């Protein structure tokens, strides 16, 4: 296992590409899985269901993995530039492959114009993650950034429930709604704001600090806007959200 992990670090481009292919195969396999009729009859909903399903698998895998990496090696939180383990490096390789696949899925699906904000988010993530993969720097920072995937589990579930027309008054939707907002604050905003603070605090000693700081500020703005829309939709408004409102709650 250790030998293989060393090979991943020597030839990261090949493994990032392989991970992209694996997630694409998963996307194709999900076409054979039964979906709600209301989803199957609408091309946009059908694509969105498959896209979110792949994203949910990624979130379940990487969110758990990221938290486990930090629990096992808490020093990564305090030294995000140079500290990492082979398993945490592999995590970033896999996640990079997912984001590349997902960006490609959005572009070639024909919904790129409607999802331009997600593409911007993905481009920012891909550049940061690939920098970590090829330079072996900021791997720990990328792991901390993947804490947001804990929240994405509930965020994706929320949208899947909406696509399936599950009642807003159901217990399932209500519980997921509460877990979603709590994890959004703790894991998504918490991780983002911590990384932003870390870069500012260690600005003079970090390589390419200006690039990463600008990236974090842009993502912070996007996440705060999404959070506001989420609160308005699930807690402050009684009307059913339309499609445009739904898409901004995804990451």
SS3 per-residue string spanning 103-159: HHHHHHHCCCCCCHHHHHHHHHHHHHHHHHHHHCCCHHHHHHHCCHHHHHHHHHHHH
Do 103 and 119 meet the contact criterion of CB atoms below 8 Å apart? yes
How does pLDDT run across 184-205, given as a tens digit for each residue? 999 999 999 999 999 999 999 9
Nearest to 59 by CA among 170, 158, 136, 138: 158
Q: Is 142 exposed, middle or buried (0-12, 13-18, 19+ CB in 10 A)?
A: buried
Cα–Cα distance, 116 to 107 (Å, whole number)? 9
H-helix or E-strand containing 49?
helix 43-72
How does pLDDT run across 83-109, given as a tens digit for each residue? 999 999 999 999 999 999 999 999 998
SS3 74: coil
Q: 12-18: long-range contacts (C-beta < 8 A, 24 or more apart)?
A: 12/93, 12/133, 12/134, 13/134, 15/93, 15/97, 16/93, 16/96, 16/97, 16/100, 16/130, 16/133, 17/97, 18/97
C-alpha triplet 162, 168, 172: angle, nearest 5°: 85
For position 231, what pLDDT does the model report?
93
The predicted model gives 155-180 an average pLDDT of 94
Do 92 and 182 meet the contact criterion of CB atoms below 8 Å apart? no
Mean pLDDT of the chain: 90
The number of angstroms, rounded, from the C-alpha of 164 to the middle of its chain's C-alpha atoms is 22
Cα–Cα distance, 187 to 180 (Å, whole number)? 10
Do 116 and 109 meet the contact criterion of CB atoms below 8 Å apart? no
pLDDT above 90 for 248: no
Structure token digits, residue 39: 């989803």
Structure token digits, residue 144: 């901390």
Band (pLDDT 50/70/90 cuts) for residue 246 is very low
- For residue 18, what is the DSSP state? H
How does pLDDT run across 3-30, given as a tens digit for each residue? 888 889 989 999 999 999 999 999 999 8
């Amino acid at each position: 296992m250790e030998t293989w992990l060393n090979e991943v670090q020597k030839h990261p481009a090949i493994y990032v590409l392989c991970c992209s292919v694996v997630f694409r195969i998963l996307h194709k396999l999900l076409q054979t899985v039964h979906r709600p009729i209301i989803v199957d009859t609408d091309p946009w909903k059908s694509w969105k269901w498959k896209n979110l399903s792949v994203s949910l698998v990624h979130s379940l895998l990487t969110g758990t993995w990221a938290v486990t990496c930090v629990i096992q090696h808490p020093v990564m939180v305090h030294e995000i530039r140079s500290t990492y383990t082979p398993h945490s490096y592999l995590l970033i390789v896999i996640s990079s492959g997912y984001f590349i696949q997902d960006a490609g899925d959005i572009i070639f699906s024909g919904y790129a114009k409607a999802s331009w904000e997600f593409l911007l988010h993905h481009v920012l993530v891909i550049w940061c993650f690939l920098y970590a993969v090829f330079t072996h720097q900021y791997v720990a920072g990328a792991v901390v950034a993947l804490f947001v995937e804990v929240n994405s589990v509930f965020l994706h579930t929320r949208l899947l429930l909406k696509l399936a027309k599950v009642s807003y008054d159901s217990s399932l939707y209500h519980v997921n709604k509460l877990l979603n907002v709590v994890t959004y604050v703790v894991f998504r905003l918490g991780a983002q704001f911590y990384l932003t603070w870390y870069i500012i605090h260690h600005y003079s000693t970090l390589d390419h600090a200006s690039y990463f700081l600008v990236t974090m500020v842009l993502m912070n703005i996007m996440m705060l806007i999404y959070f506001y829309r989420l609160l308005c939709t699930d807690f402050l408004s009684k009307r059913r959200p339309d499609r445009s409102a739904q898409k901004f709650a995804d990451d």
